[in-house]
Amino acid sequence: MNPQHILEYFVNRRDTTVDLIREVVDIESPSYDVERSRKAVDWIESKTLEISDNFETERIFAEGFGDHLIIRAFSESELKPLFILGHSDTVHPVGAINQNPTRIEDGKLFGCGTFDMKANIVVLLEVFRMFTKYGLTPKRPINVLISCDEEVGSDTGRKYVEDEGKKAECCFVLEPSASGKVKTGRKGTGSYVLKTHGIPSHAGLDPKKGASAILEISRQIEKLHSLTDFETGTTVSVGMIKGGTAMNVIPAEAECSIDVRFESLDEANRIERELNSLEPFDERVSVELIGAVNRPPMERTDGVVKLFETARAIARTFDYDLEETQVGGASDGNFVGALGVPVLDGLGIAGDGAHTLEEYVFVDDIPNRAALLAKMLLEV
């Protein structure tokens, strides 16, 4: 099929695709909610198996999270497979759907988890449906992983991401696309907690006997922020602090959360060295660091650039302008990129509002992203 015919197919399927998106978005599936997570995966699995009896599915239970879902399709070829990544969990608590109901307004499809990233799972299924309808077979087998804990660090999903990634020729990530741009680079992330342990005393009667954990952590916070280097793309940010027990007590305990972002492993190692060498300003107070690098950076390698150029050339065949960007947020694609496998991220529908109650995708972009993904799967 030529690109225009593929695009026309998805234009004609647009309203049906919207209805399917509504269905899965209305199944709320926040991270850590096992029962609701499994209901969302039930829906995805059932829709997958409706498309073809030749598709294989495997569910992997993740304690405290729900089910990861693996889909294997078009397995006849002996070439290395394409690996597609997505996730079924959202950041929105149960009931958020009442504040951001699934609806269309001004050409935007709103709903909790629509943009990030349930609509894009439906797009993949629609591509599979088209392949089956017209007897089209991708050159490579396609392995899909829909994880259930991506939004909270992929503690259980990472193993399966890496296991599947090691087998792959390349990886496509169905994360959302801000302004329609695909992601050719993502920063790595580190998450830490710094605790300070001081000496309590009465703030009025014996202030000199105390050693303030809050004063110590305030000094440490200033030092932490000084580690930021915008020229290298490294940021160190304290997002939450807490401490103390009462207004009239010199505080014995305090802690803060530390978010670290970096574009290279060299920078990750530099920040880790700095954090692990923190010393107290007040020798009566001790400091304790907990945490580690969570996701390595997804670097813009030659292989990634080649994938993007292929995608951009395909998009041009149906007059769709595709651009690239590098972002600070991380995804499971970071784990695959660290294996040396080329990753093209942000292949989802254009929209905005990730992690907010104003989350949406553009309805008119659904056929474009479906046609782009279809041609990529057929040609790469």
DSSP 117: I
Residue pair 104/95 in contact by the 8 Å Cβ criterion: no
Report the 10 Å Cβ neighbour count for 284. Answer: 12
The answer to whether the pTM exceeds 0.85 is yes
Tell me which of 273-282, 283-292, 325-334 is least confident: 325-334
Of 20, 116, 104, 112, residue with least CA distance to 364: 104
The whole-angstrom separation of Cα 86 and Cα 160 is: 12
Cβ-proximal residues to 44 (8 Å cutoff; 6+ apart), any chain: 24, 69, 88, 121, 125, 146
Q: What is the pLDDT of residues 30-61, one digit of tens each?
A: 999 999 999 999 999 999 999 999 999 999 99
Identify the residue whose tokens are 């696309």.
177
Q: How far is CA 326 from CA 85, 360, 366, in A?
A: 18, 21, 22
pLDDT of 295-338, one tens digit each? 999 999 999 999 999 999 999 999 999 999 999 888 999 999 99
